[in-house]
Amino acid sequence: MEAFKIIGGQPLKGEVKAAGAKNAITKMLVASLLSDKRCIFSNVPDISEVETTVNLCKEIGMEVAWDREAGTIEVVTKEIKSSYIPMHFSGANRIPILTMGALLGRTRENIIVPTVGGCKIGKRPVDFHIMALEALGATVEDRMIKKDRAYFAHAPDGLKGTRIKLPYPSVMATENAILAACRAKGKTVIENGAMEPEVIDLILFLQKLGAVIHVDVNRKIYIEEAKHFYEVEHSVITDRIEAASFGMAAISTKGRVFVKGAKQEHMITFLNKLRRINGGFSVKSDGIEFYHQGPLKGGLHLETDVHPGFLTDWQQPFVILLTQASGSSVVHETVYENRFGYIKTLKEMGADVELFTQCLGGRPCRFGAQNYEHSLIVKGPTPFVGKEIEVPDLRAGFAYVMAALLAPEPSTLTGLRYLDRGYENLETKLQSLGANIERVGIPATEEALISV
């Protein structure tokens, strides 16, 4: 097992380049399965989530040439060799469910995919996915394969365009519906669709690929059947989550970091919240510089929401920022019901945070009457102390890294597989900014002690 050894107390200073967006490239790799044309992607992050997705697509028949150093992937799926996604991909990430939308219009065979995985931050029901695919003419069943659950999907009569209204603007349900609609006969309208930058990047890729697709007002997406497909070259958008993560780490440690590639238009809501707590930033032509410009001010009310609201993946490191701000602030999580599982460890490190089941926000949310601890009050500023930590999920993991960078005592973080899913060469980038962090192997005896 590997671990991060971190000794904090030093400001982060320098320049770092944000990688391509995990939540964009993984979806576009699956989307390329729609056609037999060659696709070349640039600005591809070298992270385990991409590697898992590549391995999954290879099972289907994709040929892949990945230059990790150059950040490019060239793919082509000349034929579908298998529409069965092996069960060992169950729990690896959430990507397998998207293969249903991509393959339904390309094969009449049963598409068999394992159940949804990813970080343990709350329920991720596939009801919206199934509703959308069935509206387009697919049959989807939940079955058992030996001791494992799997989804069986097929469209023996082909897919037909229709009108789909999603009950909630789920990102992946929107993407699944879009992929299926690209090969459905006629026209499809998706109402209440997700509008995240990563979804828009997927739409831009699909238009290059041959789809007739556009976005209208009120979260409506229009898709017509793709008659012809074309070879594509596409540069993946910058990861706005990684960019914000480094920005928050810089400000919390009282440093100054230029994040090359950070896009203002993808981070407007986040930047507004930074300004309200006196977090410094300056937008440049090729990125954003983040800096500590004085004491951070609390008194903030923050609610996560779908885009263009405050991204739920920014929430955990932002709570770390708020622990360093004077006064009390309120955070209301409306996207995932169990996203505050990391708070217990933060309190042990010194954070003054209290959780609530009530909606401490400007509006009630779907978790309000379900007894989930989905609101909190954080008070600051508070110092942190070092601790041995088991990382539970990707974004909580970066929050723990930030907390460790604030603690003058040593911290040990295990469970790095979660961080490796979404952050490219994290320790190397932090080292370049002056952080005292190293990746080390943990002997079995020490590993057992940490897990106790």
The residue behind tokens 């994040």 is: 259
Was 123 annotated as part of a binding site?
no
CB 173 within 8 A of CB 128: yes
Q: Is 335 annotated as a binding residue?
A: yes
DSSP 252-281: HTT-EEEEET--GGGSHHHHHHHHHTTEEE
Beta 325-332 vs 301-303: how paired, if at all? parallel
The answer for residues whose C-beta is within 8 angstroms of residue 320's C-beta and 6 or more apart is 248, 252, 346, 399, 402, 403, 406
CA dist 16 → 26, 192, 237 (Å): 23, 36, 16
CA distance 452 to 438: 23
Contact call for residues 404 and 386 (beta carbons, < 8 A) = yes
- Burial (CB count <10 Å: 0-12, 13-18, 19+), residue 35: buried
Selection from 183, 176, 167 nearest residue 223 by Cα: 183
E-assigned strand segments in 20-165: 39-42, 63-67, 72-76, 111-114, 139-145, 148-154, 163-165
The verdict on whether residue 260 carries a ligand-binding annotation is: no
Catalytic residue among 119, 182, 359, 365: 119
Q: Is 313 annotated as a binding residue?
A: yes
Is 46 assigned to a binding site? no
CB of 109 within 8 A of CB of 101?
no
Whether the Cβ atoms of residue 52 and residue 89 lie closer than 8 Å to each other: yes
Beta-sheet strand order (sheet of 187-191) = 163-165, 187-191, 220-224, 212-216
As given in the structure block, the two tokens for residue 277 are 């707590």
DSSP SS3 for 196: coil
DSSP annotation of 452 reads -
Question: 359 catalytic, yes or no?
Answer: no
Binding-site residues, in ranges, read: 22-23, 94, 313, 335
Binding residues for UDP-N-acetyl-alpha-D-glucosamine: 94, 313, 335
Which residue numbers are catalytic? 119
Residue positions in the annotated binding site for phosphoenolpyruvate?
22-23
